[in-house]
Amino acid sequence: MRSFNRLSFLSILFIILSSMLIISCRKSEEGQLAERGAAEPLAPAQNEALVTFISGVSFVLQQNDWQPLGIGDYLHGGDTVKVAEGSYCELQFGDLAAVRIEANTIFAIEKLFLESGAGNIALNITAGSVLYKVGKLRGNQKFDIKTMTAVMGVRGTRFGVRVDEKGATLLAVKSGVLQIMPASIAVDGLIDRLPEKEERVLELLQKIGDSAYTVAADQEILITGQSLMETEASFKELEELVHTIIAEMETTISEEQLRLLDLRVEAVIHSVAVSVAPPVDLSEESRKALEAIEGIRMINIPDVTSRMEQPELVAITLRVEPQDAEILLNSRYIGKGVVSGIFNRGEELSFVIQGQGYLEKTLELTADEDGMFEVKLEKLGEVPLQQAPAAEVSITTLPGDALILINGESVGRGNFSSTFPVGREFSVAVSRDGYEEKELKIIVTEEVRDYEVSLDLLAVVGSFSLSPVAPLAGELHIEANKVIGVDADGTIVVSDMKGAVLRRISLGENSGYNSFPLISGQRAYFIGNRRFVVADINSGELVKSLPVENGAAYNFGRRVAIFNNRGIFPDNDKIKV
């Protein structure tokens, strides 16, 4: 970890104030306010993450000792961060991602290399909660997250990961798509050990990665310690077999070894399917927690490799009294007591400080240079109310889960209420999927105002194409926020509710005319004009394919029935199971 020159003084000052603020940390950390290291360049290198915001107190592990963390510090692969009670901090990884590490969280950076088209980031959460805002990955860039019980692969999305006291991992996705597997299924490690990447072995092992659960927008999934235990045995057997194959790779791999390897791979895939419940819709608790992602800031960070004019960074620290007073930045809550952040030069900042029994104060400033600001609130009884009149503004929406934005910043869903100085003017936008967005301007008067915003349904919510090459046949099936259909060319298409295609399963020359898939668990049962097919939705593999006869039953439309995980269908004068 290192600091850049212009922020060194403010980082130290911030640490001192933060340590004074949190009494529970003060005594144990008084001796840790050590002198900072040598000054370094303003911009982070390709193997560094920048600490951009801290509310409360955070620490970094150095030489087996927890040292206070400050804004402007740089973190590298191998660094571990701990966030104290009632605190949080934000890190930025170049222009690729920003994360918010929540209170009572231990978070490690295992790998960190940022390069256009080839970056590699690997993060680990031991305990607590972290929110992520990740841009679209390019080329061979990798962004992986590990916990005690799960491994996740990210391609560009907004999501949160929480690890509870028993080690269970909850992945909640706000937008985009992630893949997740129990941590016991370390298939990448096996692939890396293949000395010559023998194609047949590699192809079989990759089936495990292809079978990982896909978690889409507005979904969550839980992987527990029990799931870990139930999948460990099957993977250990697979691992032992792969080690044996590697040891014998100087000779030809036998067909019997490949057959056995295929069976072991299928056993691993089956153990995951039965031990981990599939994704479900977001809980209200998860949905509310994910709203904080909108408050994670991405600043323009200078690029040391570029000769172009670069943005300048400014450090701002705000200390308020009383220490439990709430601080809002541009209408969004950011913390209490002391907050400190890095901003781009010229950025307009509007701080509002509120405390029960105190007069609200506003601090408007432009981030022109590094600065330390102190605001002391005055008690209501000490100053006549007419010197600083304020009024309450309340906003209620219909439907009750519509998103409310004030001056472009999210303040919640359904309802919002706060006190503002008389004369303040701000814009409100209310939106929800499937409804027309509404906007209004509010000027605060001395009267309490209640605003009710009712949204109108869109005539057409949206449209998308499941199959660009052939028309859809039969009916669509909706399952766990997935749309599943089959086109006339015999391809099962699985997409999310926004039209992003998650999986295509080709059925060959098996026209889907006058038929549609039935879904049971993770399998799709489908009958076309030539074959009865069972396909795995997650892996895209054909589990079963049986020929059927042409005839009258098809002309009137065969329909599959599901009973005890078996497909039953008419075939002319027969019933087949």
φ, ψ of residue 102 to 5 degrees: the values are -80, 175
Separation in Å, CA 82 to CA 56, 68, 79, 100, 126 = 12, 9, 10, 12, 10
pLDDT tens by residue, 161-176: 999 999 999 999 999 9
Confidence of residue 75 (pLDDT cuts 50, 70, 90): very high
Say what percent of the chain tops pLDDT 90.
Answer: 40
Is the model's pLDDT at 10 over the cut of 70? no
Distance between CA atoms of 51 and 57, rounded to whole angstroms? 13
Distance between CA atoms of 297 and 295, rounded to whole angstroms? 6
Give me the pLDDT at residue 565, please: 57
pLDDT tens by residue, 245-291: 877 766 677 888 889 989 999 999 999 988 999 999 999 999 999 99
Going along the chain from its start, the domains and CATH numbers come out as 389-462 (2.60.40.1120), 472-576 (2.40.10.480)
Name the nearest CA neighbour of 53 among 336, 313, 327, 339: 339
Helix/strand/coil (H, E, C) string of 210-279? HCCEEECCCEEEEECHHHHHHHHHHHHHHHHHHHHHHHCCCCCCCHHHHHHHHHHHHHHHHHHHHHCCCC
Distance between CA atoms of 89 and 109, rounded to whole angstroms? 14
Give me the pLDDT at residue 45, please: 59
pLDDT tens by residue, 347-361: 999 999 998 888 889
Distance between CA atoms of 113 and 48, rounded to whole angstroms? 7
Give the mean model confidence (pLDDT) for residues 191-220: 84
Q: Which residue has the higher pLDDT, 532 or 7?
A: 532
Token pair recorded at residue 168? 């269970």
Is the model's pLDDT at 49 over the cut of 80? yes
pLDDT tens by residue, 110-150: 999 887 667 789 999 999 999 999 988 887 888 999 999 99
Confidence of residue 43 (pLDDT cuts 50, 70, 90): low
- 142 membership: H or E segment, kind and range: strand 142-146
Residues 137 and 154 sit within 8 Å (Cβ to Cβ): yes
- What b-and-e string marks burial along 446-484, b requiring 16 or more CB atoms within 10 Å of the CB? eeeeeeebebeeeeeeeeeebbeeeebbbeebebebbbb
Separation in Å, CA 496 to CA 175, 333, 381, 401 = 11, 33, 56, 21
DSSP alpha helix (H) spans, 454-569? 552-555
Distance between CA atoms of 529 and 347, rounded to whole angstroms? 64
Give the count of beta carbons closer than 10 Å to the beta carbon of residue 318: 25
Confidence of residue 550 (pLDDT cuts 50, 70, 90): low
Give the mean model confidence (pLDDT) for residues 303-316: 76
Average pLDDT over the chain reads: 80
Residues 278 and 480 sit within 8 Å (Cβ to Cβ): yes
Give me the pLDDT at residue 136, please: 86
Pairing of strands 403-406, 409-413: antiparallel
Is the model's pLDDT at 9 over the cut of 70? no
Give me the pLDDT at residue 467, please: 62
| DSSP conformation class of 191 | H
Give me the pLDDT at residue 137, please: 83
- Any idea which residue has 């809550």 for tokens? 333
Give the count of beta carbons closer than 10 Å to the beta carbon of residue 434: 11
Is the model's pLDDT at 490 over the cut of 60? yes
Residues 515 and 567 sit within 8 Å (Cβ to Cβ): no
Is the model's pLDDT at 535 over the cut of 70? yes
